[in-house]
């Protein structure tokens, strides 16, 4: 068998089924050098976990070039004390008791989407539900009027399309961010003077060691929230629903026992998580698998491969919510990998663990319980599958037919 080459990542075989490439890399080239983009790729679970946990050696400086030209400095590119300070300011708004207050907004968002498509018997669930829900929820949480949903959705998509794109697209993204900042400015001023219960008020008034975020930092954070939280939640739900719809027995099992939603969503995040790769930059020279990697080198960690590592998960390419080697509880920032049970890394690990992981899970579980399980006689009308690009894996369409009760 020939060795994996960088061309494999743009092949049709990889796009439709990346698992064999990852498997071969784990076995033969656990540290793979991409000579085109000058970066190192790690594919084994243990290696990926080690990098994610070690924020001293591996920095997120790689995101500076990607994000700053569009919406300025963000949490994604920060490390050390500054990252901890700013994360401490905003993180409490996304976890724990805060989520209880958010359920009403998620429910309302699901109801609004359901009302729009209730009269249709043939729909694309990606276009009509999963694409729309995260943006609608974020808009509601921020306290932005429902009438401005479309504006927020359009701005978010424009900014997202600009990331890593041509200078022209970057300029469009930066303009969209500035337009959004101008829109948010009077809302932020109003919340600063008279706080309410929405997310903007929480962010405006949150402090760490007596320090709060500036308006510019808030603008950047909210734009980043649109592009980081929206698309990944959208894709995570779409991939999950593909797993349920492509095997009707899985959907029926959730209908028979709604508590199974949590397990099956965890399993979907493990096998079909939305993010395939993340990258880091070495702060010092490091040695991996007998190879010396210079300081300031890009190291790519393949979450998709790590989550399907056969040394960790039995029959890892099989969707099995009943498996006993996957940790099925709420994800942990530090991960879990002990006594034959391991956590998936779809939300990352360590200091840059996804801040909105509980919100994303809550959206996925609620829309599944309140919408998908209640749609009568729903079935896929085409044979669709997730597609892999370098950084993500997604189901682009979920065309379904809906019967009558």
**Could you give the CA distance from residue 225 to residue 74 in angstroms, rounded to a whole number?**
10
Stretch (H or E) spanning 393: strand 393-394
Q: List all residues 6 or more positions away from 69 whose beta carbon is below 8 Å from its beta carbon.
A: 170, 174
Q: pLDDT tens-digit profile of 317-376?
A: 999 999 999 999 889 889 999 999 999 999 999 888 888 889 999 999 999 999 999 998
| 25 alpha-carbon distance from chain centroid | 24
Structure tokens given for 44:
């084994």
Tokens at residue 31, please? Answer: 């540290």
The pLDDT score that the predictor gives to residue 349 is 92
**How many other CB atoms are there within 10 angstroms of residue 34's CB atom?**
15
- The secondary structure of the chain in percent helix, strand, coil, rounded to multiples of 5, reads 55, 10, 35
CB atoms within 10 A of CB 225: 23
For the chain, list the domains and their CATH numbers. 6-401 (1.10.630.10)
Helix (H), strand (E) counts: the chain = 16, 14
Residue 79 — very low, low, confident or very high, per pLDDT cuts 50/70/90? confident
Task: Pick 77 or 64 by higher pLDDT.
Answer: 64
Per residue in 149-181, pLDDT (tens digit) is 889 889 988 988 888 888 999 999 999 999 999
Whether 70 has a pLDDT exceeding 60, the answer reads yes
In this model, does residue 405 exceed pLDDT 60?
no
Cβ atoms 227, 138 nearer than 8 A? no
Q: Do residues 2 and 300 touch, judged by C-beta distance below 8 A?
A: no
Residue 185 has pLDDT above 60, yes or no: yes
The rounded distance, in Å, linking the Cα atoms of 301 and 45 is: 9
Residues 6 or more apart whose Cβ sits within 8 Å of residue 132 = 113, 153
The answer to whether 344 and 269 have CB atoms below 8 angstroms apart is yes
**Span of 47-51, 150-154, 239-243 with lowest mean pLDDT:** 150-154
């Amino acid at each position: 068998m020939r060795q994996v080459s960088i061309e494999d990542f743009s092949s049709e075989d990889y796009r439709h089924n990346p698992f064999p490439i990852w498997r071969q890399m784990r076995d033969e080239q656990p540290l793979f050098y991409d000579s085109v983009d000058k970066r190192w790729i790690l594919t084994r679970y243990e290696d990926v976990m080690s990098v994610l946990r070690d924020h001293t050696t591996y920095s997120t400086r790689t995101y500076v070039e990607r994000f700053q030209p569009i919406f300025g400095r963000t949490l994604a590119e920060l490390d050390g004390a500054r990252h901890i300070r700013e994360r401490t300011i905003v993180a409490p708004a996304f976890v724990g008791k805060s989520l209880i207050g958010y359920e009403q907004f998620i429910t309302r968002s699901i109801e609004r989407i359901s009302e729009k498509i209730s009269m249709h018997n043939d729909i694309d669930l990606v276009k009509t539900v999963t694409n729309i829900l995260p943006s609608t929820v974020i808009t509601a949480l921020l306290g932005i009027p429902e009438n401005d949903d479309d504006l927020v959705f359009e701005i978010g998509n424009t900014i997202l399309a600009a990331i890593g794109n041509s200078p022209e697209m970057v300029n469009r993204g930066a303009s969209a961010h500035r337009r959004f900042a101008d829109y948010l400015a009077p809302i932020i001023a109003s919340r600063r003077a008279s706080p309410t219960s929405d997310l903007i008020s929480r962010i405006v008034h949150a402090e760490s060691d007596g320090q709060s975020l500036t308006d510019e930092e808030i603008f950047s954070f909210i734009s980043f929230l649109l592009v980081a939280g929206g698309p990944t939640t959208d894709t995570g739900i779409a991939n999950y629903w593909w797993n349920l719809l492509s095997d009707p027995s899985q959907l029926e099992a959730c209908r028979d026992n709604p508590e199974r939603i949590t397990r099956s969503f965890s399993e979907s995040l493990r096998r079909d998580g939305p993010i395939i790769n993340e990258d880091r930059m070495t702060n010092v020279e490091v040695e991996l698998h007998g190879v010396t990697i210079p300081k300031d080198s890009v190291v790519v960690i393949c979450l998709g491969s790590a989550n399907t590592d056969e040394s960790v998960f039995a029959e890892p390419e099989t969707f099995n919510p009943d498996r006993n080697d996957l940790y099925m509880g709420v994800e942990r920032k530090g991960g879990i990998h002990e006594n034959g049970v391991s956590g998936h890394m779809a939300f990352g690990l360590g200091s840059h663990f996804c801040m909105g992981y509980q919100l994303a899970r809550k959206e996925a579980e609620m829309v599944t319980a309140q919408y998908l399980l209640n749609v009568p006689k729903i079935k896929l009308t085409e044979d669709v599958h997730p597609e892999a690009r370098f950084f993500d894996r997604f189901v682009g369409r979920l065309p379904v037919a809906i019967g009558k009760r």
